[in-house]
Structure 1
Amino acid sequence: MTAADLIDSTGHWRDSLIKLFFPTMVACKILTIYIPQHGREDHMIWEFKRSGAYSVKLGYHLAVTVRRSQNPSSSSPSQGSTIPHSVWKRFDMQLVLGAPQVPCYFSFGDSIADNGNNNNLPTIAKANYPPYGIDFPDGSTGRYTNGRNIPDFIAQLLGFDNFIPPYATARGQDIIKGVNYGSGGAGIRDETSFQLGARISFNQQLQNHGRTISRISLLHGSPTSAKDYLSKCLYTVLIGSNDYLNNYFLPQFYLTSRTYTPDQYAEVLIRQFSQQLKTLYNYGARKIALFGLGALGCIPAVIDSSGGTTCVDSVNAAVQIFNDRLKPLVDDLNSQLVGAKFIYLNTSSIQSGDPTSLGIQFFTEPCCQVDSSTGLCILGSTPCSNRTQYAFYDAIHPTETVYQAYSIRAFDSVLPSDAYPMDIRHLAQL
C-alpha cells in the first residue's frame, strides 16, 4: 500500500481506510495532514532524520561522517571544532519538526469548542453520552459531534501530542500546555441560554482562566515568567452563536429582539465582546484568533423551527451584521493594545466552495436521531453509518468531517478573504 492508495479520486483522505489500517491516534494524525487542492510545490526534507527535519547538529555529524569516509586517517574532527552541547540543544529545540508551534493553547467558546466542561452541570446542554463520540478515541467525552471538534484539530495542527484538556478536569502540570474552557450554551451575554440550565458564559470562562493563570504563575515561580510564557501561546475564541439562537431569536424567553434592531444588537454584542477580549489581553494573551459565526439560518434545527425547508434568511442576515463588525474590531484592538495580535477568521469565506468536494451529500438532515425539543442526539440511538457524507451530526452541530475541513482552512487559509490579517499558522509563528 502507498500513500496514494489512502487518497480518493477527489484528492481527500479515505477516512474509513485509514481508520481501518492505523491505530486511532496515528489515524487522527494522518487525517489532520492537509492535502493541497491547488498545486503547491513539494518541500525539501532531510532524509537523515526520521522526522524529516534538518538540524545543524545532524548536518555537522553527516559532514564528519563523509569526511571520515573520504579520509579514514581522520578519526575525529580537528581540535577546537566541537560545539557545546547547550548550543546543539538550542538548535534541536528550534528546528525539530513536530514540536508544538506554540508552548500552550487556550480555547474559549460554546458547544463548538466544549470537550467536557458541561458534563457534570445541571443542564440540557451536554453531550457526554452515545452516540456522541462514536468516532472519537475515548468515546463520549462531551464533544457535540461524532469525533473531534475544532480545538482538537487546531491542537493537532499546532503539533501537540495530546488534546487540550477541559477546565473541569485539568489538573497539575496539565494546564501548562493549555486549557479548553468551552461550554455548551455559552454566550457573550451572561443570560444567554438560561432556559437550557447551567452553562459557563464567556465572562465566567475568563474568570476560570484567571484562576488558571494564578496556578501557572505558581508553577513558573513568578508572574513575570508566566506572563512572558503566556504571551507566546495561542488563544482561540468561538462564541456568539447562542446569543442569537438562544437569546435574540427566542422572544418567548428574552426581550432582546423587542429591545434592539438586528443592527443595534450586533453593536451591543461587539461592545461587550471588545471588553471581554481586553480582559483576556490583560491576562497575558497576545496571539488571539476570533472565529466568525456560521450561517445559523441553515442549521437543521432552525430550518425545522421555521416550518420551511430552506435556510432562514432573516437569521443569516442578523448574524452577518455581527460578523461584519469583527474585522474592524480586530483593527481596533490591534491598534489600541500594545503587542496585541488579534486575527479574524471569516467563516463565510472558509465555508465557501462546493461541499460535495468533501464527500458530503446530506446538508440539512442530521446523522443521528434527534430530540425535537433540543436538537440533540437521542441517548443510545444509532447514528448513520456514512457519517463522512453528512454536514450535521445532530440538528445543530456539524460532523467531524466539516470540523476537519474548516479547521485546516482556518489554520492555513486558501483565499485572502479566509483570514485577516493572517491565518492561524502565521499567527502561531509570530
Structure 2
Amino acid sequence: MASGIIVWFLMMTTLKLNPLLVKGEQQVPCLFIIGDSTYDNGNNNNLLTAAKANYPPYGIDFPDGPTGRFTNGRNIADFIAELLGFDKYIEPFATVKGVEMFRGVNYASGAAGILDESGIHLGDRISLNRQLRNHKVTISHMSTLLGNNKTLTKEYLSKCIYIVGMGNNDYINNYLLPQFYPSSHLYKPEKYATILVQQYEKQLKTLYRYGARKVAVFGLGGIGCIPAELDLYGTKDSGCVDSINKAVQYFDDKLIPMINDLNSNLPNTKFIYVNSTSIGIGDPSSIGITNLLDPCCEMSSTIANGQCKYGGGACSDRASHYFWDGFHPTETPNKVTATRAYSTLLPTDAYPFDISHLALL
C-alpha cells in the first residue's frame, strides 16, 4: 500500500499544476482548513456543545442536507475548494480516513478561537491549538502511508494551500460576553487585539514548522453588524455597533504587519492576508441581497441563542438575505468572499496577492 501511494505522490508533486490550462483542473494537491464556524463542515457534530449545525434548517440548500455547516448551503471553504479545482469538498477531520487525507483536511470548529478559553460557555470546541495538534496527527498518518518518509511528506505539504480563519469567537464568544469572560475587564480593545495577534503569530509559526508554506489568513470584518450583536447592543447611525467594529479593527489592522513579519522571517514560505472588511464593502444589491438585517432562519432561544431553532422555519427568499442565522452569512455572501479571496476585485481585497497567485507558487 505504502509504495503505491508513494508513486501517486511523486506523480502529484512532479505535475506542473497550471490553473489556466484546463478549466476546473485541480491547481494544488491538497487544501487544509483551520478555522471556526465560518468554515466548519462537521467537526462539531459529535461534540458535547451547543455550537452545532447538523440539524434542519441548516443545510437546506446543500445537496447532503444538514452536515454541520453553519449556513443554508456551501461555506467559504467549500467555494475555495471549487475555485481551486477540487472535484469534492474537503472532508472534516472527524471523519476523514486513509488516503483521502492527501486531498486535505478541514479542522474548523464552531465556537473555536485563538485563545483556548474562547467559546467554553457553549461546551466543547476545537480551539486553534487543538486544531494544530490534529494537523500533527494527520501528518503522522500521511508519513506512515508514505513509508515513514518525512522528506516526502514535507515536500508534499509544501505544495498545499492552507486556509486559516480565526478570531471571531475571541470577540463574539469571549471579549463581548463580560458575564462569562473577564477579558474586557482586564484589557482595553487595542491591548486585547495585541495579545490575540501575538498568540496567533506563534500558532502560525507552529503551522510553518509542521510544513505549511502557502497560507491564506482571513481577517474578521464587521462583527458589529451581525444580527446577534445588534440584538445585544442596538445600533448607531451606521446601522452597526460601531464600538465593536472599532475593537475588531484593531485586530485586523495588526494582521498585515504580522504577515510581513512571517514572510520576512520564515524562509521559503508565503503568507497572504484576505481583507474581509474590504470584500464586505460594496453594494449588496449588486449580488441580489436586499435584506441586510434579518436572519433567514427561525432563531433559537436556548444557550445557542442566535443559531437556528432545531427544525425551525426558514425564509423562502434566501438568496436575498445576507444573514442565515444571527451570526453566519447565507451561501451568497460566502461565495462572494471566497471568489474575491481567490481572485481580487479590488487591490485591497488581499495582500500581497490573492489565493489564485498563491496556488501558482
User: Which residues in structure 2 correspond to 1:165-176 (within 5 Å)?
Assistant: 165-176=91-102
Distance 1:331 1:308 in 2: 35
**2:335: which partner in 1?**
404
Q: CA deviation at 1:91?
A: 8.1
Distance verdict in 2 for CA 1:354–1:96, change over 3 Å:
closer
Distance 1:236 1:305 in 2: 31
Matched to 1:115, the amino acid is N
Cα deviation, 1:66-86, whole Å, max 9, x if unaligned, reads xxxxxxxxxxxxxxxxxxxxx
Q: CA deviation at 1:306?
A: 1.1
Distance 1:97 1:317 in 2: 41
CA contact (8 A) 2:40 2:68 kept: yes
Matched to 1:186, the amino acid is A
Aligned pair 1:379/2:310, yes or no? yes
Secondary structure of the residue aligned to 2:294 is strand
Distance 1:232 1:303 in 2: 42
- Candidates 230, 241, 259, aligned match of 2:157: 230
Q: CA deviation at 1:220?
A: 1.9
**1:313: which partner in 2?**
242
**2:350: which partner in 1?**
419
Aligned pair 1:323/2:249, yes or no? no
**1:301: which partner in 2?**
228
User: Which residues in structure 2 correspond to 1:33-182 (within 5 Å)?
Assistant: 95-182=21-108
Cα deviation, 1:239-281, whole Å, max 9, x if unaligned, reads 1010001111111111111111111100000110000000000
Q: CA deviation at 1:99?
A: 2.5
Distance 1:356 1:92 in 2: 40
**2:177: which partner in 1?**
250
TM-score computed with the length of structure 1 as normaliser: 0.78
Matched to 1:179, the amino acid is V
Aligned pair 1:369/2:298, yes or no? yes
**1:46: which partner in 2?**
none
Cα deviation, 1:219-254, whole Å, max 9, x if unaligned, reads 222110010000000000011010001111111111
Secondary structure of the residue aligned to 1:145 is coil
Greater mean alpha carbon deviation, residues 231-240 or residues 301-310: 301-310
**2:138: which partner in 1?**
212
Matched to 2:207, the amino acid is L
Aligned pair 1:267/2:198, yes or no? no
Distance verdict in 2 for CA 1:305–1:372, change over 3 Å:
farther
Q: CA deviation at 1:96?
A: 4.6
Secondary structure of the residue aligned to 1:427 is helix
Aligned pair 1:390/2:321, yes or no? yes
**2:112: which partner in 1?**
186
**2:280: which partner in 1?**
351
Distance 2:187 2:85 in 1: 44
Matched to 1:366, the amino acid is P
Q: CA deviation at 1:203?
A: 0.2
Matched to 2:285, the amino acid is T
Distance 2:172 2:325 in 1: 15
CA contact (8 A) 2:300 2:310 kept: no
Distance verdict in 2 for CA 1:153–1:91, change over 3 Å:
closer
Distance 2:29 2:336 in 1: 24
**1:339: which partner in 2?**
268
Gaps spanning 5+ residues in structure 2: where? 1-13
Secondary structure of the residue aligned to 1:225 is helix
Distance 1:284 1:93 in 2: 20
Matched to 2:342, the amino acid is F
Q: Percent sequence identity over matched residues? A: 58
Cα deviation, 1:366-385, whole Å, max 9, x if unaligned, reads 00000144201111112011
**2:121: which partner in 1?**
195
Secondary structure of the residue aligned to 1:342 is strand
Cα deviation, 1:108-150, whole Å, max 9, x if unaligned, reads 0000010000000000000000000010010000000000000
**1:20: which partner in 2?**
none
Distance verdict in 2 for CA 1:320–1:368, change over 3 Å:
same
CA contact (8 A) 2:17 2:26 kept: no
Q: CA deviation at 1:353?
A: 1.1
Distance verdict in 2 for CA 1:338–1:385, change over 3 Å:
same
Distance 1:294 1:266 in 2: 14
Matched to 2:214, the amino acid is K
Secondary structure of the residue aligned to 2:292 is strand
Gaps spanning 5+ residues in structure 1: where? 1-89
Distance 2:270 2:70 in 1: 30
Matched to 1:176, the amino acid is F
Distance 1:212 1:177 in 2: 12
Secondary structure of the residue aligned to 1:175 is helix
Q: CA deviation at 1:402?
A: 0.7
**2:166: which partner in 1?**
239
Q: Which has the higher contact order (CA 8 A, sep 6+)?
A: 2
User: Larger Rg: 1 or 2?
Assistant: 1
Q: CA deviation at 1:307?
A: 3.8
Distance 1:407 1:372 in 2: 31
Secondary structure of the residue aligned to 1:107 is strand
